[in-house]
Amino acid sequence: MKLTYDLIKEKIDKAVDIIKDIYPSFQYKGFTKVRISKARSKWGSVKYNRITGDFALTISNVFEDIQNDDKANEKLLNTVVHELIHTIPGCMNHGPNFKYYAALVNNKYPKLNIQRCTSMGQFGIQKTKKEPLYIATCSKCRRNWKYYRKPKLFDYISKCKCPYCTTYTLFFSTIKGIAI
Ligand SMILES: [Zn+2]
Ligand SMILES: [Zn+2]
């Protein structure tokens, strides 16, 4: 599914109808900003500006990784409704107020399932695991040390001794198969 601003806008309109249905006095100010992010840690988030009283919505492009379009659309609506509940007074966290409105939505719209959070694994999304960039290996015992950034000892590696074998030197290789 291609995640576009138009698609998000369409979901926001639907979400507003749903919230107004379960909470008729809901006064929707609207998300003043909508942003698509590359952050893969969460589906979406909402930021409140205390000074202006504005709400900004961020939606992760991780939705594009959901293979099934129907599921992706459903999950997107779920996420937008979830974030919209956060704009109801007293619902910024996932406390009792949030849970109360989430339960109202879930009861009236059985196809939706508003939760505090849902795992990405169930949608077939793999979290990209951080791999070390450099691995220093002992030429004798093959013990190794992983570094996620270029280590300071990179330039002196041939002078470094393995703390276990003490006389043998270390060498670097990268994990991505490219020898240094
Ligand atoms: Zn939330
Ligand atoms: Zn060693």
Residue-wise pLDDT for 103-120, tens only, equals 999 999 999 999 887 778
Nearest-Å Rg of the Cα atoms of the chain is 24
pLDDT digits (tens, 9 = 90+) for 8-52: 999 999 999 999 999 999 999 889 999 999 888 889 999 999 899
Whole-number Å distance, alpha carbon 128 to ligand 1 midpoint, is 22
Alpha carbon of residue 174 to chain centroid: 27
Residue 177: band (very low, low, confident or very high) from pLDDT cuts 50, 70, 90: very low
- 65: which residues sit within 8 A by CB, 6+ positions away? 123, 124, 125
As a residue count, the chain comes to 180
Enumerate domains of the chain plus CATH numbers. 5-123 (3.30.2010.10), 134-173 (no CATH)
Query: Distance between CA 8 and CA 105 in Å, rounded?
Result: 19
3-state DSSP of 126-147: CCCCCCCCEEEEECCCCCEEEE
Whole-number Å distance, alpha carbon 132 to ligand 2 midpoint, is 20
- Which ligand lies nearest the alpha carbon of 88? 1
Model pTM score: 0.70
Whole-number Å distance, alpha carbon 46 to ligand 1 midpoint, is 8
